[in-house]
Amino acid sequence: MNLNWRAYFIVMGFIALFLIIYESDAFALLSKEDTDVVRVENPSSQAAPEEKKKEILDGEFTVINKDQNMNDEKVVKNERQAEEGIIPTQIRIPAIDVDASVEEVGVLENGEMGVPEDPLKAGWFEPGTQPGNRGNSVIAGHVDSRTGPAVFYNLDQLKKGDEITVTAADGEEKTYVVQKLESYPQDNSPIERIFGSTNEKRLNLITCTGEFIRNQGGHQDRLVVYSTLKEPVEEVPVPTNVKVSGAFVTWYAVREENIAGYRVYESRDGGETFEKVASVSQHERKAYSDPKASEYQYYVTTVNKDGQESTPSPISGGLK
């Protein structure tokens, strides 16, 4: 009999503990240390015009600013999309084990951004930019729900350099690299910076962060992860016909528009080590002179206007 009463009190204790956790929204208040999130108290963008306060739903990520209407002119929408853009249906973030479906969301009648019903799915702002195009593409997700962590629960654990991949229904992918993480007060987030015009190809991820304020029905801050498209690395052509004749090293020019110039590397120890000895612009004569050039070894590389360098040309010179 004593054992039955003991079991009864143990069960009741667990129930009471669960109710305390639920009422205190412990999922939202779990401490996360050592993050790269930068708190921005006063973003540079102007606050939205004063209007009637909107109720913040439990765990709602779509309310960027309480007083901001997504139909505002600062929000870029319905731009003509280039062919390289995709409609995302899946998002993967390996660093925080996210592999989730993406739904299209728009602007609701009350001016707020739409939201997926499933807290384990993310929402792409369909009126805005398609991933892969120039502009700010935006995907948002819940941080938590009444049942526990949601799709972007660990978003604040991302680091600069982490990768985010979005995939279209046909399997085409676009990969972005995290640049920075910033959090803003929920009533003063930089709408133009997140949704506005830019010449860069960006993907911005949004979720809630900070303390959960129960009487307001939501978190006090908005977390934005800014990332840029990972462009394919251009293969820079290698200079050809590198020759050493007497005091001169010569080579053929690379006939492409994006070439800035060439670098000449010299070895005086039989090819063990090479040091750069000259930089020659594309418009200059493709030659380097040294009275003892015939005694040394050389190779030449091409450098494009983006600063990318080719692999070395075949080695030429008198010490081979």
Listed residue (143, 91, 135) closest to 115, CA to CA? 143
Contact 309, 301 (CB under 8 A): yes
Listed residue (108, 68, 85) closest to 196, CA to CA? 68
Amino acid letter for position 64: I
Task: Please give the residue that has the higher pLDDT: either 46 or 136.
Answer: 136
Q: What ranges do the domains of the chain cover?
A: 1-27, 31-229, 240-317
Q: 185-189, 253-257, 284-288 — which is least confidently predicted?
A: 185-189
Task: Please give the residue that has the higher pLDDT: either 284 or 11.
Answer: 284
Instruction: Tell me the sheet residues that pair with 22.
Output: none
Which CATH number is associated with domain 31-229? Answer: 2.40.260.10
Distance from C-alpha of 254 to C-alpha of 25, rounded to nearest angstrom: 63
If pLDDT is split at 50, 70 and 90, which confidence band does 30 have?
Answer: very low
Q: What is the pLDDT of residue 239?
A: 95
Listed residue (181, 141, 156) closest to 60, CA to CA? 141
Contact 100, 124 (CB under 8 A): no
Instruction: Tell me the sheet residues that pair with 261.
Output: 281, 303
If pLDDT is split at 50, 70 and 90, which confidence band does 275 have?
Answer: very high
pTM listed for this prediction: 0.60
Please state, rounded to an integer, the average pLDDT across all residues of the chain.
80
Interval 74-128: pLDDT, tens: 676 655 565 679 999 999 999 999 999 999 998 888 777 887 889 999 999 999 9
SS3 of residue 191 by DSSP:
helix
- Mean pLDDT for the stretch of residues 262-283: 92
Distance from C-alpha of 262 to C-alpha of 133, rounded to nearest angstrom: 32
Is the confidence at residue 46, as pLDDT, over 70? no
Q: 30-34, 228-232, 247-251, 270-274 — which is least confidently predicted?
A: 30-34
Distance from C-alpha of 152 to C-alpha of 146, rounded to nearest angstrom: 14
Q: 54-58, 151-155, 204-208, 301-305 — which is least confidently predicted?
A: 54-58
Contact 87, 169 (CB under 8 A): yes
Q: What is the pLDDT of residue 310?
A: 93
Q: How far is CA 299 from CA 169, 259, 305, in A?
A: 47, 18, 20
Q: What is the pLDDT of residue 188?
A: 78
Q: What fold, for 240-317?
A: Immunoglobulin-like (2.60.40)
Neighbours of 266 (CB within 10 A): 20
Distance from C-alpha of 90 to C-alpha of 99, rounded to nearest angstrom: 7
> Residue with structure tokens 């800035």?
260
Q: Best-predicted range by mean pLDDT among 94-108, 110-124, 145-159, 207-221? A: 94-108
Q: What is the pLDDT of residue 107?
A: 85
